């Protein structure tokens, strides 16, 4: 039997696809084929397919909104699971949000919680992310205007999550388990799969929250290229405290620099956009060019923030 047949046999399903091009499932619109591909439509299904792949020793990659990864041109060997476990609900007794890990933070969840008069997530309006990807990276953005005095992090509202460990144990873990940091959580190394999560919200005035949402969308419109016409993954390089990766790149005069179909946008020196024909190879080449130039001219080492997935 092939891996596809063995997986379908265990799952009792004939929904395992093969050779699916991943580019359209990422915000960069880049990436070759997944050998095997499965869309998980609930947390239960996500758990079953992860368990089946592990039992069969088929390597797997869990794809959320595809907003923080660069998938190689040669694609991904093994199984890519697209997380479409998108159910969520609000517990009006406790003001908690209970969400499956594939739910979309903006606009789906934020619109619902703001309408319900619950605060805690409105700061992340405009950022493409699933709940799972947001936990993985500890989603963050500036506090509301006009002060914008600090960075807010998703960890501030996380109560607990249900995870599937690499050993196959399903358990509930508290906030502290994640060891959240800047662009950081234990998920980077643990191999855990988040199935669902609970967030503590606070009652607030929907009108005030709507104004924060609008201000943050406007902030993005002014500074970021729009995803529908200029695909990107947001910031390419990690923040350098007190200096800013974008500022260093700008100082080296690299805005507008293009390799193949990938260009450093004039709007923001830390964002690369796909001009339509961009490949993962072009991105890697441009990353290398920027790192070398910035290191030579400023002495700083830039580290990519985006994760590299599959074969290049
Ligand atoms: C235009 C633009 C603007 C952005 N602005 C910001 C910003 O202001 N602040 C910010 O913090 N980020 C920002 N980002 C980055 C990105 O939106 C976040 O990192 C987001 O949380 C990624 O979520 P995702 O669902 O797309 O994850 P993906 O890119 O699909 O996956 C990222 C990683 O998370 C893992 N993962 C996903 N789901 C799970 C799960 N259920 N369990 C375990 N692991 C999982 C994946 O396997 C992968 O390793 C921006 C991106 C873009 C394109």
- Tokens 């339509």 locate to 276
Give me the pLDDT at residue 68, please. Answer: 97
* pLDDT value for 241: 82
* Closest ligand 1 atom number to CA of residue 309: 49
- Taking the C-alpha atoms of residue 34 and residue 20, their distance in angstroms, rounded to an integer, is 5
8 Å CB contact between 265 and 272: yes
Q: Is the distance from the beta carbon of residue 66 to the nearest atom of ligand 1 less than 6 Å?
A: yes
**What number of H helices and E strands is found in the chain?**
8, 18
Q: Is the CB of 186 under 6 A from ligand 1?
A: no
Listed in sequence order, the residues at least 6 apart from 208 whose beta carbon sits closer than 8 Å to its beta carbon are none
Q: For residue 61, what is the enclosing H or E element? A: strand 60-63
What are the tens digits of pLDDT across the range 121-173? 999 999 999 999 999 999 999 999 999 999 999 999 999 999 999 999 999 99
Q: For the chain, give the mean pLDDT.
A: 97
pLDDT band for position 242 (cuts 50, 70, 90): confident
Residue whose CA is closest, atom 15 of ligand 1? 68
Ligand 1 pocket test target in 132, 192, 194 with most atoms within 8 Å of CB: 132
Contacts of 260 by beta carbon, 8 Å cutoff, 6+ apart? 277, 278, 279, 281, 282, 285
In the prediction, which pLDDT does 13 show?
81
CA distance 63 to 25: 9
Strands (E), 64-201: 69-71, 76-83, 88-91, 96-100, 118-119, 140-142, 151-153, 158-164, 170-174, 193-200
Establish whether residue 185 lines the binding site of ligand 1, counting it when its CB lies within 6 angstroms of any ligand atom: no
C-alpha distances in Å from residue 162, one per residue of 34, 178, 198: 27, 12, 9
Q: Is 307 in the pocket of ligand 1 (CB under 6 A)?
A: yes
Choose among 165, 151, 168, 146: nearest CA to 244.
151
Interval between CA 63 and ligand 1 midpoint (Å): 9
Rounded to whole angstroms, how far apart are CA atoms 266 and 250? 9
- Report d(CA 29, CA 228) in Å as an integer: 10
High-pLDDT (> 90) share of the chain, %: 96
- Closest Cα to residue 81, out of 112, 48, 49? 49
Minimum CA distance residue for ligand 1 atom 43: 193
User: Is the model's pLDDT at 204 over the cut of 90?
Assistant: yes
pLDDT at 14: 85
- Which atom of ligand 1 is least distant from the CA of 224? 1
Q: What is the DSSP letter of 182?
A: T
* 129 CA → ligand 1 middle, Å: 5
Contact between 208 and 144 under an 8 Å Cβ cutoff? The reply is no
Residue 50 has pLDDT above 90, yes or no: yes
Q: Which atom of ligand 1 is nearest to the CA of 64?
A: 30
**CA–centroid distance, residue 126 to ligand 1 (Å):** 13
Q: Please, are residues 234 and 68 in contact by the beta-carbon 8 Å criterion?
A: yes
31 lines ligand 1 (CB under 6 A): no
Whether pLDDT at 5 is above 90: yes
Report the SS3 class of residue 117.
Answer: coil
Mean pLDDT of 253-262: 98
User: Which atom of ligand 1 lies at the shortest distance from residue 68's CA?
Assistant: 29
Mutate to test the pocket of ligand 1, among 234, 270, 308 (most ligand atoms within 8 A of CB): 234
Each residue's pLDDT tens digit, 164-194: 999 999 999 999 999 999 999 999 999 999 9
Question: How far does residue 297's CA lie from ligand 1's centre (Å)?
Answer: 31
* pLDDT tens readout for residues 51-69: 999 999 999 999 999 999 9
- pLDDT average, residue stretch 13-21: 93
The confidence score (pLDDT) of residue 12 equals 87
Distance from residue 168's CA to the centre of ligand 1 (Å): 24
Q: Give Rg (Cα) of the chain.
A: 20
Copy the structure tokens of residue 281. 């190879």
Alpha helices for 199-251 (secondary structure H): 206-223, 245-251
Q: Two tokens at 190?
A: 């643990």
């Amino acid at each position: 039997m092939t891996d596809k047949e063995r997986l379908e046999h265990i799952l009792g399903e004939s929904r395992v696809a093969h050779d699916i091009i991943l580019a359209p499932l990422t915000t960069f619109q880049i990436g070759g084929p997944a050998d095997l591909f499965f869309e998980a439509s609930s947390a239960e299904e996500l758990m079953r397919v992860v368990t089946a792949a592990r039992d069969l020793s088929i390597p797997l990659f869990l794809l959320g909104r595809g907003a923080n990864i660069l998938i190689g041109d040669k694609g991904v060997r093994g199984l890519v699971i697209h997380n479409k476990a998108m159910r969520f609900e609000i517990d009006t007794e406790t003001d908690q949000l209970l969400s499956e890990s594939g739910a979309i933070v903006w606009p789906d969840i934020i619109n619902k919680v703001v309408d319900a008069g619950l605060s805690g997530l409105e700061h992340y309006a405009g950022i493409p992310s699933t709940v799972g990807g947001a936990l993985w990276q500890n989603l963050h953005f500036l506090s509301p205007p006009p002060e914008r005095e600090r960075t807010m992090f998703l960890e501030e509202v996380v109560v607990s999550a249900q995870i599937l460990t690499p050993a196959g144990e399903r358990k509930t873990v508290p906030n502290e388990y994640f060891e959240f940091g800047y662009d950081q959580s234990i998920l980077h190394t643990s191999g855990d799969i988040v199935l669902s999560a609970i967030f503590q919200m606070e009652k607030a005035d929907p009108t005030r929250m709507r104004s924060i949402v609008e201000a943050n969308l406007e902030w993005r419109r002014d500074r970021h290229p729009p995803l529908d016409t200029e695909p990107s993954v947001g910031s390419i390089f990690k923040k350098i405290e007190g200096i800013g990766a974008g500022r260093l790149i700008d100082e080296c005069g690299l805005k507008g620099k293009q390799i193949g179909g990938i260009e450093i946008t004039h709007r923001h020196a830390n964002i690369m956009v796909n001009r339509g024909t961009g490949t993962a190879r072009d991105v890697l080449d441009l990353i290398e060019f920027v790192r070398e130039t910035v290191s030579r001219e400023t002495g700083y080492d830039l580290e990519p923030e985006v994760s590299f997935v599959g074969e290049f």
